[in-house]
A and B are shown apart, each in its own frame.
Chain A
Amino acid sequence: MNELSYEYWWAAYYGLTDLKKRLVFEHFGSARGIYEASKTALQGVEGLSAAQIQGILDSRCEARILKDTQTMVEKDIYLTTLGMTDYPLRLRGVVDAPYGLFYRGDLSIANGKTIAMVGARRASNYGKTMSMHFARSLAEEGAVIVSGMARGIDGAAHRGALSAGGKTIAVLGGGVEYCYPRENRDIYEQIGTKGLLISQYCPGTQPIARFFPARNRIISGLSDVVMVMEAKEKSGSLITVDFALEQGRDIYAMPGRITDVMSTGCNNLIRQGAGILQNPETFWQEYRESGLGTYIEEMENMPKLTHYEPEKAGIISKTEDQKDKKSDNSPEFSLEKEDSMVYSCFDFYARSIQDVADETGLDLLKLISIVMRLCELGLIRESFKNQYIRCK
């Protein structure tokens, strides 16, 4: 067996918790060491029950491991483990970090200025628009947006980052080769080539709901900052917040209207002391002041947690940096009086034509002409049949 197969075996062994796996690894120093350890040697590790030891012994099936490793390579999926140098630094600092991470794309971006964006799957238009907006401007400033590629906020965050030609990381709840949900196929393909798709689950694992909370731990573990864009009072996104607090990450939340149930969770977080997201500029200011950006350097200077010198396996084809930043994105436009009156009626919440017609009292044909013109200018867009929402 080669080194990669040993690493694969221990990374894809799910009979122990991540914390135990890490302890066993640190005890033996390498995946190969664990594989070759005798039963008595394993009994020497603190906290392993007889059943767990038996489980490890039973999983040592050389033919299957070799075959699975081969399949992974054929699927163009790479592996990094705590035993390798390229393991994301921030995650390495998390005490119960998963031993192995399967990925596709450019792993080095995980050590960039990572910012996690999480939020409801059934998000409002406001949540999605603002997530896209934040993701876009943060990505333009070089931030790497980390999210879970779910519906709603996650998808919007990835889309925002991609539209700015920025970097983004999708942490998946199943094997890297599965795109879930299917309607995010477009971003899945793009992230695979321009960003990073990553998962703690070995290839061939179907995405199922109970894997998703564990994924949230990686999302927060990979990031300096966790931004909660939209969350109901009891939301799955708040699990990520709990993980983030455990891992010592900064929490930011985007405020919403107090009457809006979709934002209750966010508003609660702000009351409890989370940072408030008003616009990307003030966020960057706070980010620099708090010295969050220096985290990586500190990590690199820290004594290594393991005595094992990680080795490099597999070559990654790095994609070229996208440097074609959109230069002009400021809302510099001038509108005629009536146009701007109509424009001011629209909001980041969808509004119907009927509403705006009632508010402005304009003739229907006239109003429609203005609405179409605003659409053409990209100031508003049709979010649902006859409902419009502000884009800028």
Chain B
Amino acid sequence: MYKAVMSTNLRGIDSSIVRVEADISEGMPMFELVGFLSSEVREARDRVRTALRNSGYVLPIKRITVNLSPANIKKNGSGFDLAIAIAVLAANGEIHPKALEQKVFIGELGLNGEVHPISGILPMVLAARDANMTRVILPWDNYGEGMLVPGMDIVPVAHLSDVIAYLNDGIEPLKPEAVEGELPGDNGNDFAYIQGQAFLRKACEIAVSGMHNFLMIGPPGAGKSMIAKCIPSILPPMTMEEQLEVSKIYSVCGLFGQRQSLINQRPFRAPHHTISANGLAGGGQTPHPGEISLAHRGVLFLDELPEFRRETIEIMRQPLEDKQIHVSRVNGDFTFPANFMLVAAMNPCPCGYFASEDAARCHCTKPQIDRYLSRISQPLLDRMDICVSVEKVRYNDIVNTSANEPSAEIRKRVVLAQQIQQTRFAKEPYQFNSQIPARDIPKYCPLGEQEQAFMKQQFDSLGLTARTYHKVIRVARTIADLEGAVTIGLPHLMLATTYKSMDKKYWEVELQ
């Protein structure tokens, strides 16, 4: 007898519906699984057989064939176990076919029949909704994540027998009690604890407001990492759409946990510098998202930038422009979103004291410094919109306990600046000042006569390139937005010029 049930397959960060067909017929007794399966799906055969027996069902001594359709898409993951078990039972006449309509089955089986959680539930339930299914039967532990898709009836099950009881007798399983979601991440980092450094604070504010990439250069102990850790506290809240995008990525990576709400905090990812190119960009035989995708709509912080392997950081060049990354592997091409703000920190030389107040402590030779700097390419430096050199913290700043502006205040200004940008770019495919394409700069960032004269002079004296010129203007636009100014003024351009990206010329002049 033939029966079919629905399940879902994960591909990249998207999911599609898979039909699980089971047929039991006369012939040589065997249990066969077909349909372009990866090894973890093929292993489902043994899990399903044992789980069924331990739940009180014995497979008939007949030829059992299970097919996962469409057969031309590679099936991955352990989420098909439940669907296969139900399909086999239905084919054996243990479940009424009526009960299988409009339902999607997702879950991994243990040998004792328990249903274990899997990753990627959110995109799977979204796929079920798109396929006009109404009910999703999924593991108990994944209930919170499944509930996030409105309009779907989610049935959490802990054991195979719960599923059969639900299908045959209509016994609704208990639903888990609402778990208190983790509090919006107040991890104790707040700009209120950063003493002094007004110049740097301003740079952070501008960078976040316009989602400009941001580089800090300074000696060890200047507080570069501390500042970076405070950046999440001034990031503006995410829209629903953004929350869903980010949540999908985290769901696929199995980082969703027990939370019962979408991820509503902008991500802040700080991978260690030993990370591989695949870890950063995404990869694997069946590609999964890398750190740049996990930082989507948030911040990717690379501390000690030159310590990263050069080929690792160079792969960011293309995603920084395209805001997404294409990963091609043997199992197909995948596109992951990667619209992040890059924050990086580095020392000016291997020992870190070059051109600082303690420059006399620096004993790095020119070749050493050249080698150190050569780990970062100029094209990557060019992509940093804002660059600030960070000074050693002074004694007075350490003991000074006068109140600093807390993150909440800065965040208010950031939100306002982003609202201005949203209105401005309502009809454009981009959202932030940092993303204005060169062709639209005259439209959104018109300069007055005086401002143009200033930029011309800067262009000549600083040796700007077309790219750096546009970056200065974009940053000036954000500064003007923060000030609430409609047009870009001279002071805005001046500040933007002082924040302009670093180039290796600085070191050369110093070393002559």
Contacts and interface: CB of A to CB of B under 8 A. Distances in A.
Nearest to B511: A151
A365 B509 CA distance: 27
B196 interface: yes
B231 to A, nearest CB: 19
A364 B494 CA distance: 11
Interface in B470-496: 483, 490-492, 494-495
Interface string A256-277: 0000111000000000000000
Q: State the majority secondary structure of interface residues on B.
A: helix
Nearest to B200: A354
Given A385-B389, A387-B355, A357 B198 contact: yes
A365 B489 CA distance: 11
Nearest to B483: A365
Contacts, number: 78
A243 to B, nearest CB: 25
B404 to A, nearest CB: 13
A384 B391 CA distance: 12
A345 B360 CA distance: 22
A190 interface: no
Contact of B498 (A181, A261, A384, A386): A386
A306 interface: no
Contacts of B202: 364
Contacts of A357: 198-199
Nearest to A373: B494
B199 A156 contact: no
Given A352-B389, A357-B199, A386-B498, A261 B512 contact: no
Interface string B181-199: 0000000000000001111
A353 B201 CA distance: 13
Contacts of A353: 199, 498
B490 to A, nearest CB: 7
A341 to B, nearest CB: 18
Given A262-B360, A386-B388, A151 B366 contact: yes
A371 B498 contact: yes
B389 A384 contact: yes
Contacts of B366: 151, 181
B491 A369 contact: yes
B410 to A, nearest CB: 14
B440 interface: no
A256 to B, nearest CB: 11
B245 to A, nearest CB: 35
Contacts of B511: 151, 183
19 contacts: A124-B359, A128-B512, A151-B511, A181-B366, A184-B512, A353-B498, A358-B196, A364-B198, A364-B199, A364-B495, A365-B483, A365-B491, A368-B494, A368-B498, A372-B494, A384-B355, A384-B389, A384-B506, A386-B389
Contact of A151 (B490, B498, B512): B512
A355 interface: yes
Contacts of A371: 498
Interface string B335-364: 000000000000010000001000110100
Contact of A354 (B197, B360, B492, B495): B197
Nearest to B217: A385
Contacts of B217: 385
Given A358-B196, A385-B217, A155 B497 contact: no
Contact of B198 (A261, A354, A372): A354
A139 B87 CA distance: 96
Contacts of A323: none
Interface in A178-224: 181, 183-184
B502 A385 contact: yes
Contacts of A124: 359-360
A385 B389 CA distance: 6
